[in-house]
Structure 1
Amino acid sequence: MTDAELDTLGPVDFVIVEFPAGEANFSGEMAAELVRLVEEETIRLIDVLILTKSEDGSIDAIELEDVEQLGPLARLEGELAELLAEDDVERLAAAMEPGSVAGVLVYENTWAAPFASAARRAGGQLIANGRIPIQAIAASIAADQQA
């Protein structure tokens, strides 16, 4: 990426979607929704990997370009930067259960890019970010309702 591209880059996140052995489904509704998010410029996809973790813990990483049946994801394949390195793959796969398959998405939050760029021009820098899992929010609401 050029300096100009980095200056306008929004926050970059990753997400891992895990499927039990034999139940991976990277097409259909999930793929269509990902394509919609990219086409509406809500996110910019930077990298996509499919990880397989065998029962013995060995990991196989497949780039999207190496998948034969991409379905709607075929429209996105040519724009990927393939940012993730081998040590990244090992760290990401550590969260997976043996025998599972996972999709890893690295994406820019393009909706936040203008704010992030303005913050950098003002001399600020992002020093932390995080996510609150939906399960934690649901548990908190349930606890409040019981109290």
Structure 2
Amino acid sequence: MSVAGAVLREDGRLLAIRRADTGKWELPGGVLELSETPEAGACREIWEETGIHVEVDHLTGVYKNTTRGIVALVFRCKPSGGTARPSSESTAVEWLTAEEIVERMSEVYAIRLTDALDPNSPHVRSHDGRRLTTVK
């Protein structure tokens, strides 16, 4: 299982990383460790990849990659300290607008951040790694 954070600043910008391994823009996150709660794992992953400390607000989505069998939990978070910086897992860390997110990210990652802005969350979605899929 993986966890990720949709970190929303007061000015409406969202935290995003450019992954070191693929060069693609995504939200910060990663694999949940066995001893962690999902919320603690999201906080750890966000800090490791971005240098930003966060407080978790609530779950905004559950996303299943039907090709790889991975389930990702995404939490809306607010920054609580730290300084944005790249890491061994990220080559860039930026605060993006919703429009910039849609331009830079693939559909399956952009939807996670835009879902976090939706007051009707949490959402449950499936994808094949590239595109959202419909429920069968």
Interval of TM-score (by shorter of Structure 1 and Structure 2): under 0.3
Tell me the TM-score normalised to structure 1 length. Answer: 0.25
More relative contact order, 1 or 2 (CA 8 Å, 6+ apart): 1
Specify which structure has the higher proportion of strand. Answer: 2
**If you compute each CA radius of gyration, which structure gives the higher value, 1 or 2?**
1
Tell me the TM-score normalised to structure 2 length. Answer: 0.26
Specify which structure has the higher proportion of helix. Answer: 1
